[in-house]
Amino acid sequence: MDPSNGFEETSNHDIKSFFDSSPPLKNAAEIKRKTEEFIQLNSNSGKLVRRIVLVTSGGTTVPLEQRCVRYIDNFSSGHRGSTSTEYFLKAGYAVVFLYREGTYQPFCTLLPNNPLLECLQVTDESNITARPPYEKTVKEAISNSHAATSSGTLLKLPFTTIFEYLQNLQLIASLMSGLGSRALFYLAAAVSDFYVPWESMAVHKIQSSSGPLDMRLVQVPKMLSVLRRDWAPKAFCISFKLETDKDILLKKAGAALEKYNMDMVVANELLTRKEEVIVVTKGGNIIVQQDRTRAGAEVEEPLIKLIVDQHSASINSAA
């Protein structure tokens, strides 16, 4: 018996049993149809064949009850994923934006929490106008979003739970695998490490009358290896690590690069992640910083430029 083979079998078993015990994905047929049409449109639009990137964004939830009242949430505003989507679109990519319901949307990261009430007003003629200082921000948010969606280069798909996220990831990755090396996975979502298996979950609300609450959560099977190995083996794969402790961060990012055979791991430290990230690759670590000479410059601008260059190199070497 080959021990590594034994490990692989266990891993496949864990993944199969995770999906088998998940509640069925709602709208699976519609998600499949939309994604197929999107891939078709962007692979065959005249002479311009776009590269396609799946950007995942925001955190997943782990339900603690089947009729969900309580859940564990992984905090993520979706700022990284939504801003990166803008730069991928500018670079000519078509983007499938798989986002947590309620998190940031592309072109909207400069708006306040509740833009409808905070940025708009109804004028005397019962028209709607943007309030100062939001005139430009609001109009650009609306028109850029609509332009990207209606031109067919941006497909937005929402998720909430860990089950929905991983079911979507598997479905979309399988559909994108036909793109070969032109497919890119940019997995910025904050995915729960632990979950409560659906079948062992309380059906009704957990009662609070009987002392402290002890919970046992089990590890979510790591899907990165199976994404790389089975779902879309030729794609360029980028995963993310977020830690509050810098020492742990680089160690874990390097381990993830090896273990899951990623092309890049983007290492984020919680407090400085909007100014700087460290891109961990097999060729070494690359520090990427926002342009400090320009007000409002975003770290995603040089980050996506670096990724596009490395993705190009990877496509050329595969050709």
Q: How many CB atoms lie within 10 A of CB 234?
A: 15
Q: Does the protein bind its own copies through residue 150 (CB under 8 A)?
A: no
Distances (CA, A) of 82 to 25, 61, 203, 215, 307: 24, 19, 35, 34, 16
Span near its own copies by CB under 8 A; candidates 29-37, 164-172, 176-184, 211-219: 211-219
Q: Does the protein bind its own copies through residue 293 (CB under 8 A)?
A: no
Nearer to its own copies, 147 or 318 (CB): 147
Q: Pick out residues in 18-77 that bind its own copies (CB under 8 A).
A: 61, 64-65, 67-75
- How far apart CA 304 and CA 101 sit, in angstroms, is 24
Q: Does the protein bind its own copies through residue 17 (CB under 8 A)?
A: no
Shortest Å, Cβ 73 to its own copies: 5
Q: Give helix 162-176 / helix 3-21 axis angle, nearest 10°.
A: 110
- How far apart CA 10 and CA 4 sit, in angstroms, is 10
Coil, helix or strand at residue 163: helix
Closest CA to 84 of 234, 240, 222, 226: 240
Nearer to its own copies, 61 or 167 (CB): 61
Q: Does the protein bind its own copies through residue 114 (CB under 8 A)?
A: yes
Nearer to its own copies, 41 or 202 (CB): 202
Shortest Å, Cβ 124 to its own copies: 11
Q: Does the protein bind its own copies through residue 133 (CB under 8 A)?
A: no
Nearer to its own copies, 69 or 318 (CB): 69
| Token pair recorded at residue 226 | 């199976």
Q: Does the protein bind its own copies through residue 125 (CB under 8 A)?
A: no
- How far apart CA 155 and CA 149 sit, in angstroms, is 6
- How far apart CA 80 and CA 19 sit, in angstroms, is 28
Q: Does the protein bind its own copies through residue 194 (CB under 8 A)?
A: yes
The residues that touch its own copies, with contacts defined as CB under 8 A, are: 61, 64-65, 67-75, 101-102, 105, 108, 111, 113-117, 119-122, 126-130, 138-139, 141-143, 145-146, 190, 192-194, 203-208, 211-219, 242-245, 248, 270
